[in-house]
Structure 1
Amino acid sequence: MGNKTNGILALLGLGALAYWKYKKSTPEQQQVVKDKINTAKDNLNKWGNDLKSKANDAASQVQSKIDEAKTKAEDSLS
């Protein structure tokens, strides 16, 4: 349990340090940080959408294979 607590405290400390440094920076430097965050967010959203699309494609392929197997099984029983 100690490691988890220390990890959380370390993250909080880093967050506080980053926030303090951000607030003390110039508006130009703050804009650079905002741009980097927005770019990272856009890339993450794009990656998530690509992953979701691939998962949906795989699911539809599996469903079509299942439907095909059902049809073959029904035809062989007839």
Structure 2
Amino acid sequence: MGNKAKGLLALLGLGALAYWKYKNSSEEEKQMVKDKINNAKDNLNKWGNDLKDKADNVASQVQDKVDEVKNKAQESLN
């Protein structure tokens, strides 16, 4: 059995264990898990949005520089 198969089998086992533990938890514990998942999702969305904003900002700066170089090139040709 290859390493990939062993890794997938281990991941499946951990998933089954987590599912069993969740199903046997109290309502308070289930709510804590849901809150942690929602918090992680919100943080991930915030991080993704911040990353997108930074990428858009860099792309805008690059476009401004390209336009500036184009203008200088056209001025030197005229």
Instruction: Report the TM-score range of the alignment, normalised by the length of the smaller protein.
Output: over 0.9
> Which amino acid in the other structure matches residue 52 of structure 1?
K
Aligned-pair identity in percent equals 73
> Which amino acid in the other structure matches residue 13 of structure 2?
G
Q: Distance in 1 between matches of 2:2 and 2:52?
A: 37
Q: Distance in 2 between matches of 1:43 and 1:23?
A: 26
Q: Distance in 2 between matches of 1:12 and 1:52?
A: 33
Q: Distance in 1 between matches of 2:35 and 2:10?
A: 26
- Structure 2: where are the runs of 5+ without partners? none
Task: Indicate whether 1:74 and 2:54 are aligned.
Answer: no
Aligned-residue Cα RMSD (Å) equals: 1.0
Runs of 4+ in 1 over 3 A off after TM superposition: none
1:5 deviates by 1.1
TM-score w.r.t. structure 1 length? 0.97
TM-score w.r.t. structure 2 length? 0.97
* Partner residue in 2 for 1:17: 17
* Partner residue in 2 for 1:64: 64
